[in-house]
Structures are given as C-alpha cells and as structure tokens.
C-alpha cells in the first residue's frame, strides 16, 4: 500500500483505480457544484489560536456520540453505491470502522445488504433511511435494521427529490448503468477493479432488490426508484418513523436554524448539520458556515454533528471548536476505499486521527472534550476578539 500523507493522496489513487462513472458519482455535486466546493473551502475561513508552553504530553480525542464511546469524534457517513467504489465496499468500510472504534452508517442505497454487513461485522452499526412512498417497504426496512442489531437510525431529510448531477448524466450512471463506448474503454483501464467485482456476489442494491414489491432485477429497480423518493415527506413523516423505531434517532440534512428548532422539538437524539455534501441544493450555504448559529439555537437541547466538506483532522477540530459534538465523513473515507479497500479506509482514518491529535496539541489542548470557541480567533459571528 502506497504511503499517503493526506486524504488527497488517497483521492488521487482512487481516481486511478475506480471507473470514472463511479468515481464521479462520489466526487461531484449538483448543478454548478458551487456548494460542493464551498463546503471544503469554507473551513479555511476559520482560524485557530496557536498556544505554547502548555503541557500536552498526554492527549485524548476519545469522546461519545449519542452515548456511544468512539475513538475520535468521527463517524462514517452513509454513501450510496459504496460497493461500486470497491468490491464489497460497505462490508470493507464497516469492518474498518469497527476496528478503528467509530460508527459506520449503511445507506439505504447500498450495494451490500444490511444482512450481509451484519453477518460480516461483530458490533452494531447505524442504518440510514430514505422515506419512500411505499411505506410498507419502509416499515420492513426498519424491522430488518432492528433484526440486524442496528443501534441508531439516521433519517435523511434533504432528498425528497433528486437534484441533477451533470456528471452522472454524462457518464450514463443509472440502474442498470448505460454502457457507452467511453465507459467501456474506461473499464478496460481498471483491470483490478473489474477482477475484484467479478469475485463478489454483491453487485446490485442489496437492500431493495428482492425486498421491494415488484423489484426483482436492476431494470425493475430503476423503474421503482424513479417513483419512490417521496416529495410528501414532512415532519409528520418523522413522527411516523419514530413510532416504528424504538432506538436512537438522528436527523440528517439540517442546514437552517428554523429546521434545527423543529428537529429539537420533535425529540431527535441528534441532528446532522449537512447539505448532502453539495449534492442537492446548489447555492446553499456551506454546512460549516451554518454550524455556529444552529449550535447557539439548539445546542443545549439536542446533540449536534457536522457533515459535508471534511477532508482533514483539522476540519474535524474546527467543527468541534464551533460546538459540534462530532462529525461525519463521506468522501474522505470513500477515497481510501477506492484506493485500497478496507486497508485504505483504515489509512484514511489514521490520517484524520493524527491530524486531529496534532492540531489539538498545537492549540494547547489535551482533551477533545475541552475544545471550544476559545480555540478559534475572533470572527464575525461574535466569538471573543483575541488581543
């Protein structure tokens, strides 16, 4: 495995190994991709206070997420088609997260089924749910998640309709994929990926095919998914889910103070400040730019996590300093997965852990629980000005 010094090294390796169709799926945003870019760029606007002559010999980045002990304030976010970045990708990512001591979140739109991931792991993972029009299917998914031992449900709120992602259209990404001369030629340059995929039995949407009514193959899946994302999803739908889910509930896709207040009122255990990685509403604010206002509004009533744009341990530190309890990473670990499978995911987590630990040390802190706004320089949102 090639030495990687940062997440972007893993990204470059993934670009070489993963077919363009699937690499672009994970590495793109909607429309102009403005929000996708802003998510990462915005972190540079927040500057750290460098402190010296502090005893930083013994440090810890361990914390808790919704009461669960974690090795660092990071969880693996749900990512659709993870199993197309690398053969059995969801299983590989879940195993890596388990070994590292952080949560893994399986997407509804995963390639490996919830049962396959449960069979391959020994500790509970989290399950992400899209509310579909077919509420019978949704109820069945909740029951399957319970049976698999999932300890938390991540309910995504910002995908009632699917935004347009230009790269997916140009690449012919669909279910099943529409092969073009260009895509076939590209596959011929990825022999390792092709051989690994041939050795896997997981090559379809395992949570849906054979489970949703009338979905028996990839062709029927395409027809089903086009009709199933539910534009009628509203707060009463969350109440409907809560009645059927007796474990911890995390609401993902909150990027506005008013929505955060409603989420807190509804009794969520946590919310994830997120704009879907810039894949839905292009032109929306970067998630990190919305974090402080949401923390100020509801941080005393609900646990707050941050998703979208994180590419380093320093990004994680800044999110924690601004009031997030923890963070979710998507593309950062997907790059590792595409680069080297399970080992690549572990390498991505090691990179982020090291960056987080060193940043905390150079800011004069020894415990992630003590990190706060005092670690950031004065900012227009009203943080203390530093003389």
The whole-number pLDDT of residue 174 equals 76
Number of DSSP helices (H) and strands (E) in the chain, helices first:
15, 10
| pLDDT at position 6 | 98
Positive or negative, the CA dihedral 241, 243, 247, 251 is positive
Instruction: Give the C-alpha separation, 254 to 287, whole Å.
Output: 9
Question: What pLDDT, on a 0 to 100 scale, did the predictor assign at position 2?
Answer: 64
Please tell me the predicted confidence (pLDDT) of residue 258. Answer: 98
Q: What is the pLDDT of residue 1?
A: 57
| Nearest of 104, 17, 306 to residue 9 by alpha carbon | 17
Q: Which of 276, 305, 353, 374 is catalytic?
A: 276
pLDDT lower than 70: segments of the chain: 1-2, 175-176, 218, 379-387
Residue 153: strand pairing partners: 127, 249
Contact present, 73 and 306 (Cβ < 8 Å):
no
Q: What is the pLDDT of residue 382?
A: 46
For residue 325, give the nearest of 375, 278, 271 by alpha carbon. Answer: 271
Task: Tell me which residue of 199, 201, 178, 115 sits closest to 150, measured CA to CA.
Answer: 115
| pLDDT score at 15 | 97
Round to whole Å and give the CA distance between 34 and 296. Answer: 26
What does the pLDDT read at residue 175? 65
Domain limits for position 362:
7-375
Q: What Cα–Cα distance (Å) separates residue 367 from each residue in 63, 77, 184, 264, 322?
A: 9, 24, 51, 28, 15
Query: Is the residue at 2 inside a domain?
Result: no
For residues 306 and 254, give the distance between their C-alpha atoms in angstroms, rounded to a whole number: 10
Closest CA to 332 of 75, 141, 61: 75
Question: Phi/psi of residue 32, each to 5°?
Answer: -80, -10
386 in a structural domain:
no
Q: Report yes or no: 305 and 292 within 8 Å, Cβ to Cβ.
A: no
Mark whether 379 is an active-site residue: no
Over residues 156-178, the pLDDT tens digits come to 999 999 999 999 998 888 766 77
Q: Which segments of the chain does DSSP mark as H helices, in order? A: 7-17, 20-26, 34-41, 89-100, 114-120, 135-147, 166-171, 181-188, 191-198, 218-228, 235-244, 257-266, 287-298, 313-321, 331-362
The reply to whether 387 falls in a domain is: no
Count of domains for the chain:
1
- Burial (CB count <10 Å: 0-12, 13-18, 19+), residue 174: middle
Distance between CA atoms of residues 250 and 268, nearest Å = 6
Q: What is the pLDDT of residue 227?
A: 84
- Interatomic CA distance for residues 204 and 109, integer angstroms: 10
pLDDT at 331: 98
CATH number at residue 89: 3.20.20.70
Closest CA to 154 of 132, 195, 182, 125: 125
CA dist., res. 279 & res. 163, Å (int): 7
Element (H, E) at 254: strand 248-254
Residue 384 domain-assigned (yes or no): no
Whether 303 is covered by a domain: the verdict is yes
Asked whether residue 362 is domain-assigned, the answer is yes
């Amino acid at each position: 495995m090639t030495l990687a010094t940062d997440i972007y090294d893993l990204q470059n390796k993934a670009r070489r190994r993963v077919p363009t169709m699937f690499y672009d799926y994970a590495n793109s945003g909607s429309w102009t991709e403005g929000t996708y870019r802003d998510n990462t760029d915005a972190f540079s606007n927040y500057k750290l206070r460098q402190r010296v002559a502090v005893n930083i010999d013994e440090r810890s980045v361990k914390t808790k997420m919704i009461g669960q002990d974690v090795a660092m304030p990071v969880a693996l976010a749900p990512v659709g088609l993870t199993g197309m970045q690398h053969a059995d990708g969801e299983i590989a990512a879940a195993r890596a997260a388990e070994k590292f001591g952080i949560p893994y979140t399986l997407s509804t739109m995963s390639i490996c089924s919830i049962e396959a991931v449960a069979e391959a792991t020994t500790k509970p993972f989290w399950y992400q749910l899209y509310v579909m029009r077919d509420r019978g299917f949704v109820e069945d998914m909740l029951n399957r998640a319970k049976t698999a031992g999932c300890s938390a449900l991540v309910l995504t709120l910002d995908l009632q309709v699917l935004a347009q992602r230009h790269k997916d259209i140009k690449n012919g990404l669909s279910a099943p994929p529409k092969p073009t001369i260009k895509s076939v030629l590209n596959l011929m340059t990825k022999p390792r990926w092709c051989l690994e995929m041939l050795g896997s039995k997981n090559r379809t949407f395992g949570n849906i095919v054979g489970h949703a009514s009338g979905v028996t193959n990839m062709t029927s899946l395409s027809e089903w998914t086009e009709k199933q994302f539910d534009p009628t999803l509203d707060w009463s739908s969350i109440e409907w889910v809560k009645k059927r889910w007796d474990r911890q509930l995390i609401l993902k896709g909150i990027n506005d103070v008013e929505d955060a207040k409603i989420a807190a009122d509804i009794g969520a255990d946590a919310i994830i400040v997120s704009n879907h990685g810039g894949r839905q509403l292009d032109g929306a604010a970067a998630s990190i730019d919305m974090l402080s206002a949401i923390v100020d509004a509801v941080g005393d009533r609900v646990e707050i996590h941050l998703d979208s744009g994180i590419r380093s341990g320093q990004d994680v530190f800044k999110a924690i300093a601004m009031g997030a309890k923890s963070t979710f990473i998507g593309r950062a670990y997907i790059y590792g997965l595409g680069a080297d499978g399970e080992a690549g995911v572990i390498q991505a987590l090691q990179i982020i852990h090291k960056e987080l630990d060193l940043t905390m040390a150079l800011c004069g802190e020894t415990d992630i629980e003590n990190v706060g706004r005092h670690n950031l320089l004065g900012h227009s949102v009203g943080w203390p000005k530093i003389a």
